[in-house]
Amino acid sequence: MRNYDLQFLKRFSIVIAFLAVVTIGLIIFASFLQRAIPTEASPQAVARVEQRIAPAGAVYAGSTGAAAQAAAAEAAAAQAAAAGGAYEGTLDGKVIFDKLCTACHLTGVGMAPTLDHAHWDKRIAQGTETLYKHAIDGYTGPDGGVMPPKGGNAGLSEAQIHATVDWMLANLK
C-alpha cells in the first residue's frame, strides 16, 4: 500500500469513529429526554382513547346485576330524553326522511322499498305497528332486504320514527 492510501484509511477511520461516537451520544441523550419529559395528553385525546377501548357490553348477574342493569337502562333512557331526539327533535317526517332515509328509500339500496305502492302494499297489510317496530328495532327481510334500527341513527326518538313512517305512507306514489 502506498503512503497516501494509508493516510486516507486513517482519516476515514477517524471520521467513522467520530460519527459512531456522535450517534451513541445522540441515542443516550434521546433516552434521557424520553425518561425526563412526561408525555402530554390532551383531555380530548384521552376521552377518545377511553371511548375506543370501552367494553362493548356488560355482564349483569344476580340481584346486584339486575339493579345495575336497571340503572344502566334508566340512564340510557334519561340520556335519550335529554338529547331530545335527532334533528333538533323535529317531528316533521319529511325533514327526517330528506336527511336520513332518502339514500336507501329513493334508490332501493339494500332492497329498501321505494316510495311506490308496488313495494309497500304487502307491508301496509301487516299494519302500521309492525312497520313502526321494524323501523325502530331494525329488520332483515326474507328477500335479504335490510333495515337498520332507527334507520342507522340511534338518536331518533320513537315519535320521530312514527312521524317519518307516517309521512312515507302518506306520500306513496
pLDDT in tens, 116-126: 888 888 888 88
Q: What is the pLDDT of residue 8?
A: 92
Q: Where are the domains of the chain?
A: 1-40, 87-170
> Would you list the DSSP string of 55-106?
-S-----HHHHHHHHHHHHHHHHHHHHHHT-SGGG---HHHHIIIIIHHHHT
- Segments in the chain below pLDDT 70: 1, 60, 63-64, 78-85
**Domain 87-170, CATH 2.60.40.10 — does that match?**
no
pTM for the whole structure: 0.51
Report the alpha-carbon distance of residue 32 to residue 30 in Å, rounded: 5
| Distance separating alpha carbons of residues 123 and 101, to the nearest angstrom | 17
